[in-house]
Chains A and B, each alone.
Chain A
């Protein structure tokens, strides 16, 4: 396929406008993450692409095939779109073996039994489940079930793979491994994919491009790096990464920089919105960019250490700086000494 073009999709569900004119494109071999909090419309969008429901308005084109067009009334049902979908719950059929679950798509396409067998076993091998073909889903672990769901979705070489929160049902440890495995698998298969997730780390890890959705609209779109390092709205900034947040008032504006001040503090940062002199604003900075100093520094605030948390790989320090709560990640245990927290102005975003 060449492109998935989704343009101006609108959808109402139960009186709410769940998607308000969403558009994006996907190139061959690309992996796009639809990222957003619950209620953002990302799963709805995925289901509309899958054909499980139809938009109220808009257009969906996959390669040369028009899947949906509200103007000309074209509505291709799900079974004719030749896509693959991995459900959040995996939706494996409990009354069929792993083999039969995976083979179903090939049998529908009237593949010869010998070829079916070959393909199914090969795909099972690819996902690392050789030997489990005759088990039933309830005999597998969560991770294994996920792989079966994936195998079932790709065995008939769909043009596009859709994944609905593929990792959310796995426990934390497994999730990390699965993240890697999933990305490798998708690259190996050279398949285009749209992946829905609420976990920004997952989106950053798996996708080539991230679409951040909020309340039915695309907030920002870009590569993982762009999304992380260059958020254009406060929502985008706060959704990606772990942040520190300071509220205050704009005291001065100098070109692209602005000074934000509170009761007893003031800091310089990058102005990323159209806030004007005197307006309240929020300053956001990634936690890892916030620096701990043992003496006053440029763009720094005096801080009092309130609590520390030991997390194994690091320590979490919680500070009170100028009446605001600030978090720091530190490699070592805290020491009793005066603290200053530095907020480098190129990393402090003011919205």
Chain B
């Protein structure tokens, strides 16, 4: 009887305590900022993450913060840059948050003074290479992998590393002639970024380049064009493919296979910045925190097929699972001004010149 009474007395306290304790998954945004955001009532985002992939995130954000009306504009990375820069110059209304996979352009915007500083409470949970000066924030951990045609490439042939790929191509030049594909560094920003990272990381890069040239590598600007052609068999294998898109497509298309190179695997991150001139600053901060919170990252890591970056989030497509699988071969591209090196025109053109010479196309 006494125990029951104790329990009954304690129960309300217990319940209140449970109700009042903060949800460990929710973003740790300060109440002040949240209140400010709700007063602002609106948030404008320019993003390169397509609406379909982002849908689970956006829906959840809407459930978490019903008072903030989210205007989500998805466009490609050049369009994000062009639109933002033009609007900023005109002093006209623009985005409150830019979320783009063009890491170098995002850093450039921050470096040029467009981004505002925000000490996000979630910063502690994001690896340090993904943060720059509290102005640019990497939000995902996306593997850059090989994608191949399962029907036409036997399981034992699938290269498990960059060196493997080069060996395979050298051994079967006729079979792979015109059947290898990737982004065109000249016409695709992400393509350029990944190739220059390869140049930095791959010890045998000069040889790699030449081999690509010998098999007449087919270079495109769109993920769709490449994956479609790999799936149909027009091409056999693609390198420097963005893992999140491939995995999303693989869920429906049995013809595609993905291989993570074990010698080194580049990892890219979609970078978010909050412009200084953002009209709804607090809402932007809330969204940024949400992206980096456990709640948001869990969705990325599971439903959305974007790769979450927080080490403490578990799921199918997460940094945690990749780290377990690949360990030290993971080479994340740091969110840092090092990315600006190749935005220098002469350096860029020089690299492209040597790339084309190596390919034998110039």
Chain A in direct contact with chain B (Cβ < 8 angstroms)? no
